Amino acid sequence: MNVQTDTKLQSFLSGFEGVRENAIQNEAWDALQYLDFPTTRDEYWKYTRISKIANAKLSSGKASNTILDLEKHLLSDQFVIIENGIFRADLSSFDLSKVNVKVESTDTLVQTTANMDELFQAMNTALAEQTLFISIPKKQVWETPVQVIYITTENQIMSNTRLVFESEDFAEGHVITTFINEGNSQSLSNHYTEVLVAENAHLKLDKIQVGNGWHVATENVWQDGNSTFKINTMTLKGDIVRNNLNIEVAGENCETFLNGAVITKENQLVDNHSFVNHLVSNCMSDENYKYVLDGKSTGVFNGRVVVQPDAQKINAYQQNGNVLLSDFAKINSKPELEIYADDVKCSHGSTTGQLDEDALFYLQARGISKDKARKILVSAFVGEVLQSLDNEKVLAYVNQVLFDEFGWTEM
């Protein structure tokens, strides 16, 4: 007897077409036939239950032809709008003489660093219709950041968005990605980014997650020698948010900065998995993530740093600080340092606590209400990470969201 057991993934994918013209997409689609949604039995997903996503009936999104009012989200005069996974040329505005931005059909995909054994990367590779390329030519320094706004406007869709942020030698540039959802919270934004930081290049990526619903984002970053890469991940909204940040430091004298702020309430679940792989000597990485969790929300921090054999003189720092504002909020913090070289400096620390009661009373004793005093203390706590947003407009935007969503005021 032949028993056909459909996996959750197969039923999830039944609404999507996966047959493409190119080999990479076919490979990704084939991989999906063997993959399934992870469960909490998988170590990589131990604290993050995504059965809500797995059980959802989603379809692929389409761009509308309506005008979207995105004024308040605009942080640069060079911007690209992607609606429900599709490029909106009519709403985007960038000057090709200043920035090199183009959108291509993923049918023409010739190479990727996506890991086809990982569900969300494989799904993105198989299903993304378009890829956005932001490419900085040799020695070019872009003064203006390029902002990409990913907006969901439909309900029950999965959008697969794909970004390649690449540079040639000595290039410098800054990309801001903003994720918004104006549909209901039963949508999945599955975003995939490849970053190539060439020799002596300096790239920065700000990732501002302010959309409701489900959001999975993966960045695969490659750093060549003498380069600097900085990523700031600000997660201020989202029912389930999972970030997979993978950085391969492949050249010497690199600097890598990973900053993250997570502010949650209600039943949110925000999971940051980062992986810094030091392949060679003489590099520095500095990671700092802070979580402020309220309501019944859950945070997950998993920071993996590997120093490969012979990757000597590595300085790797990792810090994760958490404040729980309610008795029902939860944090799972797991630093993972694997060091196979013997001449390295690595440190990690994880702290979790409530707000400092003495500080709270001190502020109250000066006439500040308890509610306001709490807000002052939490914003001071994440302030250190927010300061890493050295672009003033981005910082002001984040502060505005914190004010609108949580009533915070900057101190």
Residue ranges binding another protein (CB under 8 A): 356-359, 361-370, 372-373, 376-377, 379-381, 383-384, 409, 411
Beta carbons within 10 angstroms of residue 95's beta carbon:
10
Alpha-carbon distance of 262 to 272, in angstroms, equals 9
Min CB(373)–another protein separation in Å: 8
Q: Could you write out the DSSP letters of every residue in 329-381?
A: -EEEEEEEEEE--SS-EEEEEEEEE---HHHHHHHHTTT--HHHHHHHHHHHH
Whole-angstrom distance, CA of residue 44 vs CA of residue 206: 24
**Residue 281 DSSP label:** S
Give the span between the Cα atoms of 42 and 210, in whole angstroms: 28
Do the beta carbons of residue 127 and residue 160 sit within 8 Å? yes
6 vs 371 by CB, closer to another protein: 371
Which residue, 96 or 365, has its beta carbon nearer to another protein?
Answer: 365
Shorter beta-carbon distance to another protein: residue 266 or 358: 358
CA distance 61 to 129: 10
Q: How far is the CB of 408 from another protein (least distance, A)?
A: 13
Minimum Å gap between C-beta 369 and another protein is: 5
Q: Closer CB to another protein, residue 357 or residue 392?
A: 357
Closer by beta carbon to another protein, 143 or else 358: 358
Cβ at position 404, least distance to another protein in Å: 19
The total of other beta-carbon atoms located within 10 Å of residue 3's CB is 4
Structure-token pair, residue 12:
């999830």
Kindly state the smallest distance separating residue 3's Cβ from another protein, in Å.
60
Which residue lies nearer to another protein by CB, 250 or 368?
368
Residue closer to another protein by CB (options 93, 369) is 369
Beta-bridge mates of residue 141: 172
Q: C-beta of 370: minimal distance to another protein in Å?
A: 7
- The answer to whether 214 and 188 are in contact (CB under 8 A) is yes
Q: Classify residue 152 as exposed, middle or buried by CB count within 10 Å of its CB (0-12, 13-18, 19+).
A: buried
Reference 247, options 206, 199, 286; nearest CA is: 286
The nearest distance, CB 284 to another protein, in angstroms, is 24
CB of 234 to another protein, least distance (A): 17
Give the nearer residue to another protein in terms of CB position, either 66 or 369: 369
